[in-house]
Structure 1
């Protein structure tokens, strides 16, 4: 970490067992919607605790209805790319599953293909395209370095819109 970066609190490991329990609650309540052939992935937004909790709060209050991830991240984690109608479970920084999300729209493209509407739907900062680009450049530069590659704007990105399908009661 360089001297000009603030110390970042790490996320706790996600609680996969609690994620399975949350998925089973959802499946029991909505068997007509929980049709994924495999249990959904249990993951989180962001790469440090403060960012994770900030982004999750935006999801929970309805501001954040979209997200973007590097195709390389999915490959590194051995995760399949999302599909329309598939689900995933988002955890807070303590690793607790808080919400099940359902993918409603997906597109793969380069960094330069993001538009103002998508930036707004991500709900971050002032919701403008300029701040989206600035924040995501910094984020994916960190992610690339952590995964051992140099991120460039040419890397493929999964642009995803989602609905909140189920909230944890705890």
Structure 2
């Protein structure tokens, strides 16, 4: 999918293939399927991940300008995304605009907090740390760039 995007857009400076993440949102195939539908539906243009998760998994933090491939719960590529903003801050620093841009469910700050307390709580447990609202989060905004019918 990423190669198709590059072939159609020779003006794009490609992210090195070794740096193109291919991943699913969420922590289960069912959640990945649910969340990818927000991408293809056009509402989800942001995501938030615990910085401790990147460190534990020995993965670099996302970079502005980098591309990544979003897959559904079965691992099938559904969209190429391009990061345009990164902000690191404590979980508690999320605001209404970010919750809206993340584009899930009713897009309110209240539902974002409820859902992400659960999701980040599961991630913290996986990492063997206690979830608190002081944990550092990578707040990432992105555009959908491929396929053409989904591109922003």
TM-score for the superposition, normalised by structure 1? 0.81
Q: For structure 1, which runs of at least 5 residues remain unmatched after alignment?
A: 1-21
Query: How far has the Cα of 1:154 moved from its partner?
Result: 1.3
Unaligned runs of 5+ in 2: none
Aligned residue in 1 for 2:39? 59
Match of 1:139, SS state, is helix
Tell me, what secondary structure is at the counterpart of 1:165? strand
Task: Using the TM superposition, give the Cα deviation of residue 34 of structure 1 relative to its aligned residue in structure 2, in angstroms.
Answer: 4.2
Query: For the Cα contact (< 8 Å) 1:23–1:39, is it kept in 2?
Result: no
Matched, 1:125 2:141: no
Contact in 2 for aligned 1:69/1:158 (Cα 8 Å): yes
**Partner deviation per Cα, 1:111-156 (whole Å, 9 max, x = no partner):** 1111001101111121111111111001111111122222221111
CA distance in 1, matches of 2:147, 2:126: 31
Residue of 52, 60, 73 corresponding to 1:80: 60
* TM-score when normalising by structure 2: 0.90
| 1:139 alignment counterpart | 119
Aligned partner of 2:5 in structure 1 is 26
What is the RMSD computed on CA atoms of the aligned residues? 1.7
Mapping for residues 1-170 of structure 1, pairs under 5 Å: 22-37=1-16, 38-167=18-147
- Deviation >6 Å, runs of 4+: none
Cα separation, 1, equivalents of 2:45 and 2:13 = 20
Higher relative contact order (CA 8 A, sep 6+): 2
What is the rounded CA distance, in whole Å, between the counterparts of 2:108 and 2:78 in structure 1? 27
